Amino acid sequence: MSSTPLPPNPFDGAEKAAYDRCLHLESLPGGIEAGGRSPQLYGRVLGYMMLHAPTPEGRHNVGVEIQTRISASDTPDSLSSLAQFYMDHFIRVFKAAKDRTPAVSSTHSSRPAFDLTAQEKHTLLRDAPRDHRAAKKLCLVRDNYRCVITGRYDVTTIASKKKEDRTFVAPGIVGFTTLVYITAESANSDIKEGGSRCNYPASAWSVLERFGKIDVKDDQLNGEGVYRLPNVMTMCFDPRAYFDRLELWLQEVGTNRYRVYATDPDYLTSLGIDPSNSEIQLTTTDPDLALPDPRLLRLHAACAKVAHFSGAGKIVDETLRDIEELEVLAYDGGSAHVLIAALLNSRIQVGVHN
């Protein structure tokens, strides 16, 4: 993944002072290509977080955090630890998670998604989807059985419909689809009221609350809330892979209207998308089936841009590979969580100030 130098300072006042600190950190010896986790990398992570913050409050909070670290200890390490914290608790929320072997929609479910009765829909909405299967069923109906990126029609839905009507013809190009989470399942472990704010999910959500104005409890994204419709979309395998790897994101251009961007225009071309005309409109087949939350998509887009332009995405990938290797080493599965916690805790952890 490439890395791009920070542009000149575009800010005024306190934010200008904070961004100057990012530029200074970036200028210190030790390039990304030579040393991986370097002052250059950390300076760019913090700088691009300010530049691509999804809200003015988010940019302000990052600037305050930078100035607070400098006030406490005017050393490169103080800002490097903050940047590492954001890499571990912001970028990983969107980059990790996501089921490595996604399940396609199945033709063997008790009732095809297209044949969802009013009572079944009411029950699913009343209880809120509590697992991947329920979320997939509702999401597929909402998205009209299509990939939201390419428009390809779900193959298994065709098979189900042809059982009911042999004359059914697919209304377009087809493809296998899967359920995509905007925020990762692993980052949405249940956070109990009054629980420790030092565990990974709580720390991750603290960052998202301050950076993107997403409240884990108020927005019902805690625990099983990850399966709610505002956090999921239907995609075919290839766009899902790009999206999960932060190599594709949706930039809001209107109400539920987005321009699809990728780190390489060839990725869009491979999906049948013209890079110069990549706008999509998210729609729902039923007003009771909520569309993806624009705030979550803004956060995902911000994260993708920070990861790409700073070069941090490559480093996070290495961490995730290390975690996978630790899970393999803990062959009985019983101690995997201990090893993973040790890996994350080996990094310098910093608190998020309120």
120 confidence band (pLDDT: 50, 70, 90): low
Question: Residue 193 CB: number of other CB atoms within 10 A?
Answer: 6
248 confidence band (pLDDT: 50, 70, 90): very high
What pLDDT score was predicted for residue 53? 97
DSSP per-residue codes, 109-155: SSS-GGG--HHHHHHHHHH---SHHHHHHHHHHHTTTB-TTT-PEEH
Per-residue pLDDT for 100 more than 50? no
Residues 27-63 pLDDT 10s: 998 755 544 679 999 999 999 999 999 999 999 999 9
Per-residue pLDDT for 309 more than 60? yes
Among the ranges given (91-100, 223-232, 315-324), the one the predictor scored with the smallest mean pLDDT: 91-100
Per-residue pLDDT for 320 more than 50? yes
What pLDDT score was predicted for residue 323? 67
99 confidence band (pLDDT: 50, 70, 90): very low
Per-residue pLDDT for 109 more than 50? no
Q: Write out the E strands in the chain.
A: 153-154, 174-175, 177-181, 232-236, 248-254, 257-262, 279-281
The domain limits of the chain are 13-95+311-345, 113-183+228-301
2 confidence band (pLDDT: 50, 70, 90): low
Per-residue pLDDT for 287 more than 60? yes
Residues 148-194 pLDDT 10s: 999 999 999 999 999 989 999 999 999 999 999 998 765 555 444 44
What pLDDT score was predicted for residue 350? 36
What pLDDT score was predicted for residue 316? 79
What pLDDT score was predicted for residue 193? 44
Nearest to 326 by CA among 349, 348, 346, 303: 346
Averaged pLDDT score across all residues of the chain? 82
Per-residue pLDDT for 206 more than 90? no
Mean pLDDT of the 4-18 span: 98
Q: Which token pair is 206?
A: 């603290």
Query: Looking at the whole model, is its pTM more than 0.85?
Result: no
Q: How far is CA 194 from CA 177, 198, 218, 341, 349, in A?
A: 39, 12, 15, 21, 21
